[in-house]
């Protein structure tokens, strides 16, 4: 399924998945005012902790904390409570944790941080149909995304993480119920790396992405600010 919409409302998120804290801080500074959002994932959070989140936020960036929480309902709810005092605008959980886990997560988010955008991760963009089959799912990646999105809708979720290839499908099925964040986005000519289901920034936006996540093409560039500007130009 394919839809085309006006671009310009889609926002860029830098995936700050690099080794050293000092390098990450320098990179954020180099991107300048052209970048509003930064994603801090499991790699950097487990190494540097909550103070690192605050340090990036103090540089004037909005924080997407990508922890992909997946545990029993009470543990996930308590984890959301634990990060509620951090300056974060987005937080991820795994939709495959099930309806009850998502319902507990939504309640915890509403009680502890009503302004936080909770995002349900559907199928990782590093996985394709073969990888889905290997873990015992007898559906295609797109079918699994659709099924998990429907479950997330019933649980009261308002945001999802999906491949840009499924963005149009979800917008068609659920309208504007979900904010869609799409990793696996690569500028024209960039190496796909370990991503399987990729798309260019403009195409991802046209398919319905509200936010796109880009990492290596920016932080491995000689001029990260120029890449950020080029991506924003493509989106606009």
What mean pLDDT comes out for the span 142-149? Answer: 93
Q: What is the pLDDT of residue 191?
A: 52
CB-based burial, 136-169: b 16+ in 10 Å, e otherwise: ebeeebbbbbbbbbebbbebebbbbbbbbbbbbb
Spatial distance between the Cα atoms of 1 and 157, rounded to a whole number of angstroms: 23
Catalytic residue among 30, 39, 68, 220: 68
Read off the pLDDT of residues 54-111 as tens digits, 9 standing for 90 and up. Answer: 999 999 999 999 999 999 999 999 999 999 999 999 999 999 999 999 999 999 999 9
Alpha helices in 88-223 (DSSP H): 99-112, 129-134, 141-155, 164-174, 201-207, 216-219
Cβ-Cβ contacts under 8 Å for 227 (sequence gap 6 or more): 187, 217, 218, 221
pTM of the full structure: 0.89
Of all residues in the chain, the percent with pLDDT exceeding 90 is 64
Confidence class for position 4, pLDDT limits 50, 70, 90: very low
Confidence class for position 220, pLDDT limits 50, 70, 90: confident
Read off φ and ψ for residue 195, nearest 5 degrees.
Answer: -85, 135
User: Are the C-beta atoms of 63 and 40 separated by less than 8 Å?
Assistant: yes
In the three-class reduction of DSSP (H, G, I as helix; E, B as strand; rest coil), residue 119 is classed as strand
User: Are the C-beta atoms of 94 and 121 separated by less than 8 Å?
Assistant: yes
Confidence class for position 3, pLDDT limits 50, 70, 90: very low
Q: Is 220 a catalytic residue?
A: no
Read off φ and ψ for residue 143, nearest 5 degrees.
Answer: -65, -40
Confidence class for position 198, pLDDT limits 50, 70, 90: low
Alpha carbon dihedral 224, 122, 56, 25, in 10-degree steps, equals -40
Domains and CATH numbers, the chain: 11-235 (3.20.20.70)
Mean pLDDT of the chain: 89
Of all residues in the chain, the percent with pLDDT exceeding 70 is 92
**Two tokens at 217?**
């093409």
Of 21 and 196, the structure prediction assigns the larger pLDDT to: 21
In this structure, of 10-19, 20-29, 69-78, 184-193, the range with the lowest mean pLDDT score is 184-193
């Amino acid at each position: 399924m394919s839809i085309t919409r006006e671009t310009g409302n889609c926002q860029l998120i830098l995936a700050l998945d690099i080794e050293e804290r000092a390098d990450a801080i320098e990179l954020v500074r180099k991107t300048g005012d052209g970048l509003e959002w930064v994603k801090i994932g499991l790699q950097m959070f487990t190494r540097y902790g909550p103070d690192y989140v605050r340090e990036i936020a103090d540089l004037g960036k909005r924080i997407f904390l990508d922890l992909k929480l997946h545990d029993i309902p009470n543990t996930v709810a308590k984890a959301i409570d634990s990060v509620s005092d951090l300056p974060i605008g987005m937080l991820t959980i795994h939709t495959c944790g099930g309806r009850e886990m998502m319902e507990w997560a939504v309640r915890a988010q509403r009680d502890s941080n009503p302004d936080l955008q909770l995002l349900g991760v559907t199928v990782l963009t590093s996985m394709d149909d073969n990888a889905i089959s290997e873990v015992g799912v007898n559906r295609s990646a797109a079918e699994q995304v659709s099924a998990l999105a429907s479950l997330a809708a019933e649980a009261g979720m308002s945001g999802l993480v999906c491949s840009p290839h499924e963005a149009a499908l979800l917008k068609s099925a659920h309208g504007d119920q979900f904010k869609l964040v799409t990793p696996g986005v690569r500028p024209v000519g960039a190496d796909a790396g370990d991503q399987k289901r990729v798309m260019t920034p403009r195409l991802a936006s046209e398919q319905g992405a509200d936010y796109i996540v880009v990492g290596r093409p920016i932080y491995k560039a000689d001029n990260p600010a120029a890449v950020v500007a080029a991506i924003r130009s493509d989106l606009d």
